[in-house]
Structure 1
């Protein structure tokens, strides 16, 4: 499984992905799920992938193949004039790969994949998209300022409650680490190391990027601190008065 998140902030976008891929508890591998491209001063792009590993690797390989030789650059995400057209190219490529690899029938869904695309091209704003297996996509906005793919449910509550658009990149990374810690503790199919990429508005280049190891001191501090903070918050809630609960008879069947 996978967990990838991208947050849209006033200052830009922060993306984070795990690296665990497994086909059972005894077959665990590490693969990078975050891919980046840039033409400094002209565009910076980040793509995160979740789903069938063969499908996502084929999509990334095909995108990169179309960047190399001039005769193969149509369509190329390094030549598309807008982020909308980059999302269209990636959506069409994903749809093409799934159609070529997946059989008809009940096993077709096993070849699916979902992608998160973030980036900015000169002359346009920073944009964030989620691309579906069918090739279509949606864009983040004020009402939906972040996207998740993969194992999303465990890490979503903290994002919904705490994300603010005026957050600093540092606070956003801290928030995302809490989200990932919650997911890792609840699901063995998600784990560190975690890849992080920052895209600052109007720089038109990739920002800081790094990998967070499972034993990273700050990550361990966040994990232990969040667990203790939850215990203290729970203890501080008003006690439930079980002695004064009005009993309700069980319904007759």
Structure 2
């Protein structure tokens, strides 16, 4: 399992992802799920992945190969980020199709889900979630974020905090808390955590990027502060004696 979140703000795009792909009793595996594609001054694209690792790695490899070989369609030739979302969806479907009805067996699941975001010169930053079926959706105005993987534990804070006008530093902290809350409740989601902010119109690969290991001092401090403030806020909730009277 994994957890990735991407946020579309007036100031730019935020991406946050874990790196755990296996958490068995005797083995923990990690792979980066945040991928960046840069054509400096013209377009910047970021993508996070969840689901079958072989499928997502094959899709990323094909994107890079098509770009290197100047294929009929590649990232450089797209006019819109939505066109690239269609392209990623088709690559994913093609890769999944290799395993349907084969000797692997009916229990094999090659599905993968992607969040693609970025900006092409002359356009606005865009954000899309690409389903295993190849189609995609974009983030809403009211709740401008998308999640893939183990989404339920980290969603409540995003619902409460994230709006288009949210400052990017606030959104980055919110994404970290969202991911840390997920790690606390699900052992299959784990560090390193990757965090990236792409500023609108920068069209540069010098985005704000950081990788947090499990015992990173900032991550530890953030976790402890969040726990303490949650307990304090809970203890300050109105008492039930207001409903049941003093005898409760």
- Normalising by structure 2, we get a TM-score of 0.92
Where does residue 250 of structure 1 map in the other structure?
none
Matched, 1:217 2:230: no
C-alpha distance 243-143 of structure 1, shift in aligned 2 (>3 A): closer
Matched, 1:226 2:223: no
Alignment of 1:182-221 (within 5 A): 182-206=181-205, 207-221=207-221
Q: Distance in 1 between matches of 2:243 and 2:45?
A: 59
After TM superposition, the structure 1 stretch with the greater mean CA deviation from structure 2, 137-146 or 149-158, is 137-146
Deviation for aligned residue 1:241: 3.7
Deviation for aligned residue 1:230: 0.9
Greater than 3 Å deviation, 4+ residue runs:
102-106, 241-245
Q: Distance in 2 between matches of 1:229 and 1:150?
A: 27
Find the residue that maps to 1:38 and give its secondary structure: strand
Q: Distance in 2 between matches of 1:2 and 1:41?
A: 32
Where does residue 101 of structure 2 map in the other structure?
103
Write out per-residue CA displacement over residues 78-100 of structure 1, whole angstroms, 9 at most, x where no aligned residue.
22121111111111111111111
Where does residue 248 of structure 1 map in the other structure?
none
Where does residue 87 of structure 2 map in the other structure?
89
C-alpha distance 133-243 of structure 1, shift in aligned 2 (>3 A): closer
Structure of larger gyration radius: 1
Equivalent residues, number? 242
Unaligned runs of 5+ in 1: 246-253
Q: Distance in 2 between matches of 1:169 and 1:213?
A: 22
Write out per-residue CA displacement over residues 87-129 of structure 1, whole angstroms, 9 at most, x where no aligned residue.
1111111111111123377425x21111000000012110000
Unaligned runs of 5+ in 2: none
Where does residue 62 of structure 1 map in the other structure?
62
Find the residue that maps to 1:215 and give its secondary structure: coil
Where does residue 31 of structure 2 map in the other structure?
31
Q: Distance in 2 between matches of 1:145 and 1:138?
A: 12
Find the residue that maps to 1:192 and give its secondary structure: coil
C-alpha distance 116-242 of structure 1, shift in aligned 2 (>3 A): same
Contact 2:143 2:163 survives alignment (8 Å) = no
Cα RMSD for the two superposed structures: 1.8
C-alpha distance 241-124 of structure 1, shift in aligned 2 (>3 A): same
Q: Distance in 1 between matches of 2:68 and 2:244?
A: 73
Deviation for aligned residue 1:141: 2.9
Write out per-residue CA displacement over residues 26-83 of structure 1, whole angstroms, 9 at most, x where no aligned residue.
221110101001111100000100001111111111111111123xx12212221211
